[in-house]
Amino acid sequence: MQYSFPTLALSLLLSLPIYTQKIDYPIGFSERLNRAGVDFFEPIEAGYKDTRPVQNEFQDYHLAIFSRKEDLEIRYVIQPFETNNPFSSNPHIATIRALTSVSINEEEELISAIQLEKKQVLKDFNADWGMVYFFKPKLGFSKYPYCRMLALHKEEQATVFVFYLFEKTDNEALDRRYQALRFLDKLEN
């Protein structure tokens, strides 16, 4: 029985193990998502991998992922609602606190802030409130020169921060990774 080269090549390719991307969540991350009522959309292309948290004095985070292909690191902070925590009910204050902790606070540096329209933030994230900031992060927080911070809040459910860290301002992956998560309709107790 004779085999043609394309048939042989195809059979060899099909017999190779297929690489699947896997992000290993830190201990407690899935439980934190459940408590916050947040759906996390794990990127399945571009070779995203989890990365070790960078120890810093500015902002703790619960998950960090990175793609060499997209030259983008994404860090997630998930803060489930706590009745006795004033930051849980005041996302504006929690957001400004996080923003000023990680951004360069020099006089000549600018921070761009965009308030998301209520209709759009509800449609895109099922959230009640949202803001987007662009700024230069402190060197102790990130080695990247630029950061886009997405802040989202759902009443009596959670406040979430997503930090997109990148090298070039025209990085197209920022738009592809914008909707990285979504609030569930109701928090299941």
**pTM (global) more than 0.85:** no
| CA geometry: angle 41, 42, 43, nearest 5 deg | 110
Q: How confident is the model over 41-59, as pLDDT tens digits?
A: 887 777 888 777 667 678 7
Q: What is the pLDDT of residue 14?
A: 43
Percent of all residues in the chain with a pLDDT value above 90, rounded to a whole number: 45
Q: What is the pLDDT of residue 45?
A: 78
Has residue 27 got a pLDDT over 90?
Answer: no
For residue 23, what pLDDT band results from cuts at 50, 70 and 90? confident
Domains (ranges, CATH) in the chain? 22-183 (3.40.1000)
Question: DSSP characters for 163-182?
Answer: EEEES-TT-THHHHTS--EE
- Mean pLDDT in residue range 85-97: 90
> Who's near 48: CB < 8 A, 6+ residues apart?
21, 23, 42, 65, 66, 67
For residue 144, what pLDDT band results from cuts at 50, 70 and 90? very high
CB 110 within 8 A of CB 77: no
Torsion sign over Cα 39, 184, 130, 170: positive
The size of the chain, in residues, is 189
Q: What is the pLDDT of residue 111?
A: 92
Q: How confident is the model over 132-142, as pLDDT tens digits?
A: 999 999 988 88
Has residue 188 got a pLDDT over 50?
Answer: yes
For residue 4, what pLDDT band results from cuts at 50, 70 and 90? low
Stretch among 54-68, 70-84, 146-160 having the lowest mean pLDDT: 54-68
- Mean pLDDT in residue range 20-30: 76
- Mean pLDDT in residue range 23-37: 88
